[in-house]
Amino acid sequence: MEVLNTFFIAPVLDMADSPIFLLEVIIGGLMAGVMYSLVALGFVLIYKASGVFNYAQGAMVLFAALTLVGLLDNHVPLILAIILTMIVMVGVAFLIERYMLRHLVNQAQIILFMATIGLNFVFEGAGQIAWGSNVKKLDVGIPENSFEVGGVLINSFDLFAAVTAAVLVGVLAIFFQKTSVGRALRAVADDHQAALSVGIPLKTIWIIVWSVSGFVALVAGIMWGGKAGVQFSLVLIALKALPVLILGGFESVPGAIIGGLLIGVFEKVSEVYWGPAFGGAIEGWFAYMAALVFLMFRPQGLFGEKIIERV
Amino acid sequence: MSQERRIGDVILKVDNVSLAFGGVKALTNITFDVCEGEVRSIIGPNGAGKSSMLNCINGFYKPTEGIITFKGESHSQMETHQAASQGIARTFQNIALFKGMTTLDNVMTGRNLKMRKNFLWQSLYYGPAMREELEHREAAERVIDFLEIESIRKTVVGRLPYGLQKRVELARALAAEPDMLLLDEPMAGMNYEEKEDMCRYILDVNDEFGTTIVLIEHDMSVVMDISDRVVVLDYGQKIADGDPDEVRANQRVIDAYLGVQHD
């Protein structure tokens, strides 16, 4: 009876007690979710175009953020610094194609995955050699004050992040579904050999997709870095993207967004209302639990492409 | 076939090509040519090196020795997408379609090389790129009409039956408007009617667009019916080359297919 009360009745009563607070928790969750989505997006892009789970995505976020901060510290104007960082990320994409992917055409997925683990360490090391390992403050002039809408407190930084993510997703969705480059990307993801035979230049496609993914890493780096400071632990947010991907499906851009939002809300709501029942701090593992349970029912994710296998 | 077919000059010349994987010789000193507008078949028992030959022609494999000349340009090393941009399209023995995409999208990828605006324009999906996309869409629809697959335009190809997948693959190859079409066992695993249809499409393509066709096929009656000339490979070596009647009468070919009695 007591168990029933702590796990099922008390949390619901708490929610009903103060709807405004519940709404605030949910909005807080959504905002945090947007940040997860940003990281998950980078994964989805590379997965869609090469079938590779890019373990180094978190390190790319750190690397992009470090480069940007490093440039800003050297008194490069903001816009120029962003452009320069983007050029660096394109250069990196070029190097990855030249020295890693080119040699691994037609290899099994697990081999490419292993290669990205190596890449992860290269990014971590290179970023710190170039810019040092201190925690740095990143201020790109996004306002951080809060304001009230109908009694609910909203942080304008979070709002800015949400709008940015929404725009990014809109652009990427059109890019993938409507343009011929997007079609070529999907073709490469589906079958390397067939893509080559219709004359899709694999190398160019890979450079494009890693550049786009580098761009997403830069945006995520600006947002996360602005919120939490640019530091080594940015690499770990990549792990936060995992449950998001499982929920949303590895090859779906909208899935990454919805998945991120869901995980964000789950986390916050469970922490606030069920946290006490578990003795607190369930935010850290709850997302993974949710993803595991979800995996049992829908292995391809919410928006993943249906697994079609003719036998 | 009353219509006069124009068979022109040599379009593809395979000169002394050898291919080895480590110690295994897949092809040994193969020489033959293909003339513009003809239907040229490569036959031979299993493991004779037919697919390897095709893979050399479109650049998947790099021949260990020898030169392949296409439209007057010689090369021993060529990238696959270069072969495609020179006008070589192909289908595969074990269908290589983009299974998660619709028939229409698959055919549109065949138009990829014909798109002139660079990728930045195409990424924008606006103005000139949009107009170009529509142009190519029309060309793709023409191919779809030609192969009578209108009803499955919006179907994801992974769901289609085998015979139709083969036809979609042919459509994708045709969409590139190739000068030469390489078909790797286009009729394998098909029933009698599907084979007849496929033969008709191949001959129609050859007739209407003058596309040169290089064909690998196991079904002898099909090969003898539709080919102008036939190359026979066995254990990586060429054992016969000529028109169907000549090849049929060749003793080495009969031996290769039926086996020789050793004393």
Q: How close, in Å, is residue A179 to chain B by CA atoms?
A: 6
Q: Which domains does chain A show, CATH number per domain?
A: 2-297 (1.10.3470)
Q: What does the pLDDT average to over B69-93?
A: 84
Measured between alpha carbons, how far is B73 from B76 in angstroms, rounded to an integer? 10
State how far residue A148 is from chain B, nearest Cα, in angstroms.
38
Among the partner residues B125, B136, B176, nearest to A198 by beta-carbon distance: B176
Contact between A200 and A188 under an 8 Å Cβ cutoff? The reply is yes
According to the model, what pLDDT value does residue A304 have? 65
When scoring B94, B117, B122 by the number of chain A Cβ atoms within 10 A, the one with the most, hence best to mutate, is B122
In whole angstroms, give the CA distance from residue B207 to residue B228. Answer: 13
Residues of chain A found within 8 Å of residue B112, distances taken between Cβ atoms: 180, 183-184, 187, 198-200
pLDDT band at A44 (very low <50, low <70, confident <90, very high): confident
Size of interface A-B (CB pairs under 8 A): 98
Which residues of chain B make contact with A191, given a CB cutoff of 8 A?
96-99
Average pLDDT, chain B: 85
B112 touches A181 (CB < 8 A): no
Q: Do B113 and A186 touch (CB under 8 A)?
A: no
Residue A26 contacts B, CB cutoff 8 Å: no
pLDDT value of position A310 = 54
Identify the residue among A175, A178, A186, A197 best suited for mutation to test binding to B, counting B beta carbons within 10 A and taking the highest.
A197
Closest CA in chain A for residue B158: A308
Name the residue among A199, A204, A310 with its Cβ closest to that of B85. Answer: A199
Q: B119 vs A196: CB contact, 8 Å cut-off? A: no
- Helix (H) or strand (E) segment spanning residue B197: helix B192-209
- Domains of chain B in sequence order: 1-87+192-263 (3.40.50.300), 98-177 (no CATH)
Q: How many CB atoms lie within 10 A of CB A259?
A: 29
Strands of the B65-70 sheet, one edge to the other: B24-35, B10-21, B65-70, B73-75
- pLDDT above 90 covers a percentage of chain A that reads 11
* pLDDT for B213 beyond 90: yes
| Contact criterion met (CB below 8 Å) for A29 and A269 | yes
- Residue B116 is which amino acid? R
Side-chain-side CA neighbours of residue B206 (13 Å): 28
3-state SS, residue A307: coil
pLDDT tens-digit map of B98-113: 888 889 989 988 887 7
Above 70 in pLDDT, residue B3?
Answer: no
pLDDT above 90 for A83: yes
All residues of chain B having their beta carbon less than 8 Å from the beta carbon of residue A174 are 125
pLDDT for res A146: 80
Looking at residue B169, its pLDDT comes to 92
A193 or B122: which leads in pLDDT: A193
The answer to whether the Cα torsion of A290, A296, A300, A306 is positive or negative is: negative
Residue pair B222/B187 in contact (Cβ under 8 Å)? The answer is: yes
Residue B192: how many CB atoms within 10 A of its CB? 7
Cα gap A260→A30, rounded to integer Å:
8
Q: How far is A7 from chain B (nearest CA, A)?
A: 43
What does each C-alpha distance from B76 to A251, B13, B18, B61, B63 come to in angstroms?
38, 12, 11, 10, 7
Q: How far apart are CA A260 and CA B136, in angstroms?
A: 37
Greater model confidence, B116 or A79 = A79
What percentage of chain A reaches a pLDDT higher than 70?
A: 97
Q: Is A188 on the interface with B (CB under 8 A)?
A: no
DSSP string computed for B134-177 = HHHHHHHHHHHHHTT-GGGTTSBGGGS-HHHHHHHHHHHHHHT-
For A307, which residue in chain B has the nearest alpha carbon?
Answer: B100
Instruction: Identify the residue whose tokens are 């340009």.
Output: B73
pLDDT class of B127 with cuts at 50, 70, 90:
low
Q: Work out the widest C-alpha separation in chain A, in whole angstroms.
A: 68
How high is the pLDDT of residue B1? 44
Contacts with B124 from chain A: Cβ below 8 Å: 179
**What would the mean pLDDT of B202-224 be, rounded to a whole number?**
88
Please work out, in degrees rounded to the nearest 5, the angle formed at the alpha carbon of residue A43 by the alpha carbons of A298 and A197. 95
Residue A245 has pLDDT above 50, yes or no: yes
pLDDT band at A177 (very low <50, low <70, confident <90, very high): confident
Residue B260 pLDDT > 90: no
* pLDDT for the residue numbered A308: 57
Asked if B97 and A187 come within 8 Å (Cβ–Cβ), the reply is no
Shortest Cα distance from B130 to chain A (angstroms)? 9
Q: Calculate what percentage of chain B has a pLDDT beyond 70.
A: 90
User: How far apart are the C-alpha atoms of A39 and A242, rounded to whole Å?
Assistant: 10
